[in-house]
Amino acid sequence: MPRINAVLTSAAKSLANSESPLLDAEVLLCKVLGKPRSYLRAWPDKRLETDETAAFETLLAKRQTGIPIAYITGSREFWSRNFTVTPDVLIPRPDTECLVELSLQLIPANQPARIIDLGTGSGIIAVTLAAERPHAEVCATDFSLAALHVAQYNARIYQTDISFYQSNWFVDVPASKFDLVVSNPPYIPADDEHLRAGDLRFEPQQALVAAGQGLGDIKAIAESARYYLDTGGHLLIEHGYNQEHHVQAIFKHYGYHRVQTYQDLSGQPRVTLGCISP
Protein backbone atom coordinates (compact mmCIF):
# COMPACT_ATOMS: atom_id res chain seq x y z
CA MET A 1 0.00 0.00 0.00
CA PRO A 2 1.49 3.38 -1.02
CA ARG A 3 2.50 6.08 1.46
CA ILE A 4 0.91 9.56 1.47
CA ASN A 5 4.07 11.40 0.35
CA ALA A 6 4.73 8.99 -2.53
CA VAL A 7 1.11 9.20 -3.69
CA LEU A 8 1.24 13.01 -3.66
CA THR A 9 4.55 13.22 -5.51
CA SER A 10 3.39 10.93 -8.28
CA ALA A 11 -0.07 12.60 -8.51
CA ALA A 12 1.51 16.07 -8.76
CA LYS A 13 3.69 14.87 -11.66
CA SER A 14 0.61 13.61 -13.46
CA LEU A 15 -1.03 17.06 -13.12
CA ALA A 16 1.71 18.95 -14.94
CA ASN A 17 -0.86 21.03 -16.87
CA SER A 18 -2.31 22.47 -13.67
CA GLU A 19 -1.00 25.76 -12.26
CA SER A 20 -0.85 24.16 -8.78
CA PRO A 21 -0.26 20.41 -9.20
CA LEU A 22 0.83 19.56 -5.64
CA LEU A 23 -1.92 21.65 -4.05
CA ASP A 24 -4.52 20.02 -6.32
CA ALA A 25 -3.28 16.56 -5.35
CA GLU A 26 -3.34 17.47 -1.65
CA VAL A 27 -6.88 18.88 -1.83
CA LEU A 28 -8.15 15.74 -3.58
CA LEU A 29 -6.45 13.43 -1.09
CA CYS A 30 -7.89 15.45 1.82
CA LYS A 31 -11.35 15.03 0.26
CA VAL A 32 -10.85 11.25 0.15
CA LEU A 33 -9.46 11.01 3.69
CA GLY A 34 -11.85 13.58 5.17
CA LYS A 35 -8.87 15.32 6.81
CA PRO A 36 -7.34 18.82 6.67
CA ARG A 37 -4.10 19.46 4.75
CA SER A 38 -2.14 19.60 8.00
CA TYR A 39 -2.83 15.85 8.35
CA LEU A 40 -0.84 15.15 5.16
CA ARG A 41 2.14 17.06 6.57
CA ALA A 42 1.86 15.34 9.96
CA TRP A 43 1.59 11.79 8.54
CA PRO A 44 3.60 11.71 5.26
CA ASP A 45 4.59 8.06 5.83
CA LYS A 46 1.09 6.78 6.56
CA ARG A 47 0.01 4.09 4.11
CA LEU A 48 -3.30 4.49 2.27
CA GLU A 49 -5.91 1.71 2.35
CA THR A 50 -6.82 0.09 -0.97
CA ASP A 51 -10.23 1.78 -1.09
CA GLU A 52 -8.63 5.18 -0.32
CA THR A 53 -6.13 4.72 -3.16
CA ALA A 54 -8.94 3.77 -5.57
CA ALA A 55 -11.10 6.74 -4.55
CA PHE A 56 -8.12 9.10 -4.92
CA GLU A 57 -7.32 7.75 -8.39
CA THR A 58 -10.90 8.36 -9.49
CA LEU A 59 -10.73 12.02 -8.41
CA LEU A 60 -7.25 12.42 -9.90
CA ALA A 61 -8.44 11.09 -13.26
CA LYS A 62 -11.17 13.78 -13.28
CA ARG A 63 -8.65 16.50 -12.54
CA GLN A 64 -6.38 15.21 -15.31
CA THR A 65 -9.19 15.93 -17.78
CA GLY A 66 -9.16 19.57 -16.56
CA ILE A 67 -12.33 19.51 -14.42
CA PRO A 68 -11.89 22.28 -11.82
CA ILE A 69 -11.01 21.21 -8.29
CA ALA A 70 -14.08 22.98 -6.87
CA TYR A 71 -16.41 20.93 -9.10
CA ILE A 72 -14.66 17.71 -8.06
CA THR A 73 -14.75 18.44 -4.33
CA GLY A 74 -18.13 20.23 -4.53
CA SER A 75 -17.06 23.20 -2.46
CA ARG A 76 -15.05 26.44 -2.34
CA GLU A 77 -14.24 28.82 0.49
CA PHE A 78 -15.38 32.44 0.34
CA TRP A 79 -15.14 35.03 3.14
CA SER A 80 -14.06 32.19 5.49
CA ARG A 81 -17.18 30.14 4.81
CA ASN A 82 -17.40 26.94 2.85
CA PHE A 83 -19.89 27.12 -0.06
CA THR A 84 -21.32 24.19 -1.96
CA VAL A 85 -20.71 24.54 -5.69
CA THR A 86 -21.87 22.48 -8.66
CA PRO A 87 -21.16 22.83 -12.39
CA ASP A 88 -24.38 24.92 -12.55
CA VAL A 89 -22.68 27.85 -10.81
CA LEU A 90 -19.61 30.00 -11.24
CA ILE A 91 -16.78 28.93 -8.95
CA PRO A 92 -16.48 31.65 -6.26
CA ARG A 93 -13.45 33.88 -6.79
CA PRO A 94 -11.46 35.60 -4.03
CA ASP A 95 -11.67 38.84 -6.12
CA THR A 96 -15.38 39.05 -5.31
CA GLU A 97 -14.47 39.66 -1.66
CA CYS A 98 -13.69 43.25 -2.76
CA LEU A 99 -17.36 43.79 -3.66
CA VAL A 100 -18.45 42.29 -0.34
CA GLU A 101 -16.00 44.45 1.60
CA LEU A 102 -17.26 47.65 -0.09
CA SER A 103 -20.88 46.60 0.50
CA LEU A 104 -20.25 46.03 4.20
CA GLN A 105 -18.71 49.49 4.48
CA LEU A 106 -21.95 50.97 3.12
CA ILE A 107 -24.27 49.02 5.42
CA PRO A 108 -23.74 49.81 9.10
CA ALA A 109 -23.88 46.82 11.42
CA ASN A 110 -26.99 46.60 13.62
CA GLN A 111 -29.08 48.80 11.31
CA PRO A 112 -31.85 47.69 8.95
CA ALA A 113 -31.06 47.82 5.23
CA ARG A 114 -32.49 46.35 2.03
CA ILE A 115 -30.05 44.59 -0.27
CA ILE A 116 -30.45 42.73 -3.56
CA ASP A 117 -27.80 40.52 -5.19
CA LEU A 118 -28.42 40.12 -8.94
CA GLY A 119 -27.09 36.92 -10.53
CA THR A 120 -26.41 35.23 -7.23
CA GLY A 121 -24.95 31.95 -8.59
CA SER A 122 -23.86 29.90 -5.56
CA GLY A 123 -25.17 32.71 -3.34
CA ILE A 124 -21.77 33.78 -1.98
CA ILE A 125 -22.54 37.51 -2.01
CA ALA A 126 -26.11 37.33 -0.70
CA VAL A 127 -25.30 34.76 1.99
CA THR A 128 -22.18 36.59 3.17
CA LEU A 129 -24.00 39.94 3.39
CA ALA A 130 -26.98 38.35 5.17
CA ALA A 131 -24.68 36.58 7.63
CA GLU A 132 -22.54 39.67 8.30
CA ARG A 133 -25.51 42.05 8.51
CA PRO A 134 -28.27 40.10 10.28
CA HIS A 135 -30.56 43.17 10.42
CA ALA A 136 -30.59 43.51 6.63
CA GLU A 137 -33.39 42.20 4.40
CA VAL A 138 -31.61 40.38 1.59
CA CYS A 139 -33.02 39.30 -1.80
CA ALA A 140 -31.19 37.45 -4.54
CA THR A 141 -31.97 36.60 -8.16
CA ASP A 142 -30.67 34.40 -10.92
CA PHE A 143 -32.29 33.33 -14.14
CA SER A 144 -30.80 29.85 -13.70
CA LEU A 145 -33.11 27.71 -11.57
CA ALA A 146 -30.29 25.20 -11.00
CA ALA A 147 -28.08 28.00 -9.64
CA LEU A 148 -30.88 29.20 -7.36
CA HIS A 149 -31.14 25.71 -5.85
CA VAL A 150 -27.43 25.82 -4.98
CA ALA A 151 -27.79 29.32 -3.50
CA GLN A 152 -30.83 28.27 -1.47
CA TYR A 153 -28.90 25.29 -0.12
CA ASN A 154 -26.00 27.54 0.94
CA ALA A 155 -28.43 30.03 2.51
CA ARG A 156 -29.94 27.21 4.60
CA ILE A 157 -26.51 25.93 5.70
CA TYR A 158 -25.64 29.39 7.06
CA GLN A 159 -29.15 29.93 8.46
CA THR A 160 -29.68 33.14 6.51
CA ASP A 161 -33.14 34.33 5.56
CA ILE A 162 -32.91 35.38 1.90
CA SER A 163 -35.78 35.86 -0.59
CA PHE A 164 -34.82 34.23 -3.89
CA TYR A 165 -36.38 35.04 -7.27
CA GLN A 166 -35.87 33.40 -10.63
CA SER A 167 -35.64 36.53 -12.72
CA ASN A 168 -33.98 38.18 -15.68
CA TRP A 169 -32.23 40.84 -13.56
CA PHE A 170 -35.13 42.90 -12.05
CA VAL A 171 -37.91 41.72 -14.38
CA ASP A 172 -39.60 39.35 -11.90
CA VAL A 173 -38.55 41.07 -8.68
CA PRO A 174 -41.60 42.45 -6.82
CA ALA A 175 -41.65 46.25 -6.89
CA SER A 176 -39.56 47.49 -3.96
CA LYS A 177 -36.76 49.87 -3.04
CA PHE A 178 -33.25 48.88 -1.98
CA ASP A 179 -30.36 50.62 -0.24
CA LEU A 180 -27.85 48.44 -2.05
CA VAL A 181 -27.96 46.70 -5.43
CA VAL A 182 -24.93 44.47 -5.90
CA SER A 183 -23.94 42.25 -8.77
CA ASN A 184 -21.10 40.21 -10.16
CA PRO A 185 -22.66 39.80 -13.61
CA PRO A 186 -21.23 38.06 -16.68
CA TYR A 187 -18.68 40.46 -18.22
CA ILE A 188 -16.40 38.47 -20.53
CA PRO A 189 -16.64 39.24 -24.27
CA ALA A 190 -17.72 36.18 -26.29
CA ASP A 191 -14.48 36.17 -28.32
CA ASP A 192 -12.15 36.28 -25.27
CA GLU A 193 -9.57 33.51 -25.65
CA HIS A 194 -9.51 32.86 -21.86
CA LEU A 195 -12.91 31.19 -22.25
CA ARG A 196 -11.18 28.30 -23.98
CA ALA A 197 -8.58 27.72 -21.24
CA GLY A 198 -8.38 26.40 -17.67
CA ASP A 199 -11.40 26.28 -15.37
CA LEU A 200 -13.44 28.68 -17.53
CA ARG A 201 -14.00 25.88 -20.09
CA PHE A 202 -16.10 24.03 -17.51
CA GLU A 203 -18.08 26.91 -16.02
CA PRO A 204 -21.59 27.86 -17.24
CA GLN A 205 -21.23 30.20 -20.22
CA GLN A 206 -24.26 32.22 -19.10
CA ALA A 207 -22.34 33.04 -15.91
CA LEU A 208 -19.33 34.33 -17.85
CA VAL A 209 -20.19 35.77 -21.24
CA ALA A 210 -22.00 39.03 -21.93
CA ALA A 211 -22.94 40.65 -25.24
CA GLY A 212 -21.66 44.06 -26.31
CA GLN A 213 -17.98 43.37 -25.64
CA GLY A 214 -18.85 42.06 -22.18
CA LEU A 215 -20.77 45.18 -21.16
CA GLY A 216 -24.36 44.22 -22.11
CA ASP A 217 -25.45 42.91 -18.72
CA ILE A 218 -23.71 45.73 -16.83
CA LYS A 219 -25.64 48.23 -18.97
CA ALA A 220 -28.96 46.43 -18.38
CA ILE A 221 -28.41 46.36 -14.62
CA ALA A 222 -27.27 49.99 -14.38
CA GLU A 223 -30.24 51.11 -16.47
CA SER A 224 -32.87 49.36 -14.33
CA ALA A 225 -31.26 49.54 -10.86
CA ARG A 226 -31.87 53.30 -10.58
CA TYR A 227 -35.64 52.62 -10.39
CA TYR A 228 -35.13 50.15 -7.54
CA LEU A 229 -32.66 52.19 -5.48
CA ASP A 230 -33.84 54.46 -2.73
CA THR A 231 -32.41 57.98 -2.58
CA GLY A 232 -28.87 57.68 -1.24
CA GLY A 233 -28.75 54.02 -2.29
CA HIS A 234 -25.75 52.48 -4.04
CA LEU A 235 -25.14 50.25 -7.03
CA LEU A 236 -21.98 48.10 -6.95
CA ILE A 237 -20.93 46.03 -9.94
CA GLU A 238 -17.88 43.81 -10.38
CA HIS A 239 -16.29 43.94 -13.84
CA GLY A 240 -13.06 43.25 -15.69
CA TYR A 241 -9.85 45.14 -14.95
CA ASN A 242 -9.91 46.69 -18.44
CA GLN A 243 -13.56 47.80 -18.39
CA GLU A 244 -13.22 50.60 -15.83
CA HIS A 245 -13.67 53.52 -18.23
CA HIS A 246 -16.61 51.95 -20.06
CA VAL A 247 -18.37 51.00 -16.82
CA GLN A 248 -17.86 54.45 -15.33
CA ALA A 249 -19.32 55.98 -18.51
CA ILE A 250 -22.35 53.65 -18.27
CA PHE A 251 -22.97 54.61 -14.62
CA LYS A 252 -22.71 58.31 -15.43
CA HIS A 253 -24.94 57.95 -18.49
CA TYR A 254 -27.71 56.51 -16.29
CA GLY A 255 -27.39 59.32 -13.76
CA TYR A 256 -25.37 57.76 -10.93
CA HIS A 257 -23.33 60.14 -8.81
CA ARG A 258 -20.01 59.83 -6.97
CA VAL A 259 -18.95 57.09 -9.40
CA GLN A 260 -15.72 55.41 -8.31
CA THR A 261 -13.85 52.26 -9.24
CA TYR A 262 -11.99 50.08 -6.73
CA GLN A 263 -9.68 47.16 -7.16
CA ASP A 264 -8.56 44.46 -4.79
CA LEU A 265 -4.94 43.58 -4.06
CA SER A 266 -4.77 41.16 -7.00
CA GLY A 267 -5.42 44.17 -9.26
CA GLN A 268 -7.62 41.98 -11.43
CA PRO A 269 -11.42 42.43 -11.57
CA ARG A 270 -12.69 45.74 -10.29
CA VAL A 271 -15.80 47.09 -8.66
CA THR A 272 -17.51 50.29 -9.76
CA LEU A 273 -19.83 52.01 -7.33
CA GLY A 274 -22.35 54.78 -7.92
CA CYS A 275 -25.08 56.35 -5.91
CA ILE A 276 -28.54 57.85 -6.44
CA SER A 277 -28.44 61.36 -5.06
CA PRO A 278 -31.46 63.28 -3.76
Ligand X SMILES: C[S@@+](CC[C@H](N)C(=O)[O-])C[C@H]1O[C@@H](n2cnc3c(N)ncnc32)[C@H](O)[C@@H]1O
Which residues would be at the binding site for ligand X (CB under 6 A)? 89-90, 92, 96, 119-122, 124-125, 141-144, 147, 168-169, 184-186, 206-207, 217
DSSP-derived 3-state class of residue 171: coil
Closer by beta carbon to ligand X, 144 or else 261 = 144
CA R_g for the chain: 21
Q: Are 14 and 8 in contact (CB under 8 A)?
A: no
Q: How far is the CB of 162 from ligand X (least distance, A)?
A: 13
Alpha carbon distance 94, 26 (integer Å):
20
Q: How far is the CB of 113 from ligand X (least distance, A)?
A: 19
Largest CA distance in the chain: 71
Q: Are 271 and 98 in contact (CB under 8 A)?
A: yes
Alpha carbon distance 276, 179 (integer Å):
10
Q: How far is the CB of 14 from ligand X (least distance, A)?
A: 30
Closest CA to 16 of 66, 70, 91: 66
Closer by beta carbon to ligand X, 21 or else 87 = 87
Closer by beta carbon to ligand X, 92 or else 240 = 92
Closer by beta carbon to ligand X, 36 or else 74 = 74
Cα dihedral 236, 269, 266, 153, rounded to 10, equals: 70
Closer by beta carbon to ligand X, 8 or else 225 = 225
Q: How far is the CB of 179 from ligand X (least distance, A)?
A: 19
Alpha carbon distance 135, 170 (integer Å):
23
Alpha carbon distance 77, 40 (integer Å):
20
Q: How far is the CB of 158 from ligand X (least distance, A)?
A: 15
Q: How far is the CB of 177 from ligand X (least distance, A)?
A: 19
> Within 10 Å of residue 166's Cβ, how many Cβ atoms?
12
Closer by beta carbon to ligand X, 11 or else 272 = 272
C-alpha dist (Å) from residue 25 to 9, 169, 200: 9, 39, 20
Q: How far is the CB of 207 from ligand X (least distance, A)?
A: 4
Alpha carbon distance 88, 46 (integer Å):
37
Closer by beta carbon to ligand X, 122 or else 243 = 122
Alpha carbon distance 241, 262 (integer Å):
10
